[in-house]
């Protein structure tokens, strides 16, 4: 948790797509502590990847991406995280493990 908090901008925003929201996630979370708490114990299986040439994470099941995490990085801090799970969106994303 400490490492994640160090990487997050104090005003970071986490936005979830509608598919993630239907699974029970909040659509929007703001603030470093709140965003870090959202991930606490949940993103361990996610692996580093490039998403459209940018750094990100991907959680896969059965060899298929199920959730993609995109990042907006300003300076040396993450200022925005996107959580995407819509199958049509994931099919269009260029994901490189």
Number of domains within the chain:
1
Tell the residue number behind the tokens 């299986």, with chain if given.
45
What's the CATH number where 91 sits?
3.10.450
Given pLDDT bands bounded at 50, 70 and 90, which one contains residue 97? confident
Q: What is the span of the domain harbouring residue 15?
A: 2-96
Locate 47 and state its tokens: 């692996």
| Residue pair 20/33 in contact by the 8 Å Cβ criterion | no
* Strand (E) or helix (H) holding 2: helix 2-7
Tell the residue number behind the tokens 């040396």, with chain if given.
76
Report pLDDT for 2. 67
pLDDT, one tens digit per residue, over 24-80 is: 999 999 999 999 988 877 777 889 999 999 999 999 999 899 999 999 999 999 999
Tell the residue number behind the tokens 């801090």, with chain if given.
77
3 pLDDT exceeds 90? no
Report pLDDT for 1. 58
């Amino acid at each position: 948790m400490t490492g994640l908090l160090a990487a997050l901008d104090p005003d970071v925003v986490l936005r979830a797509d509608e598919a993630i929201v239907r699974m029970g996630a909040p659509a929007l979370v703001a603030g470093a502590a709140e965003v870090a708490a959202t991930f606490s114990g949940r993103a361990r299986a996610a692996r580093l990847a490039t998403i459209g040439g940018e750094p990100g994470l991907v959680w896969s099941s059965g060899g298929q991406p199920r959730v993609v995490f995109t990042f907006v990085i300003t300076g040396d801090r993450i200022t925005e995280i996107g959580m995407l799970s819509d199958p049509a969106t994931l099919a269009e994303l260029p994901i490189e493990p």
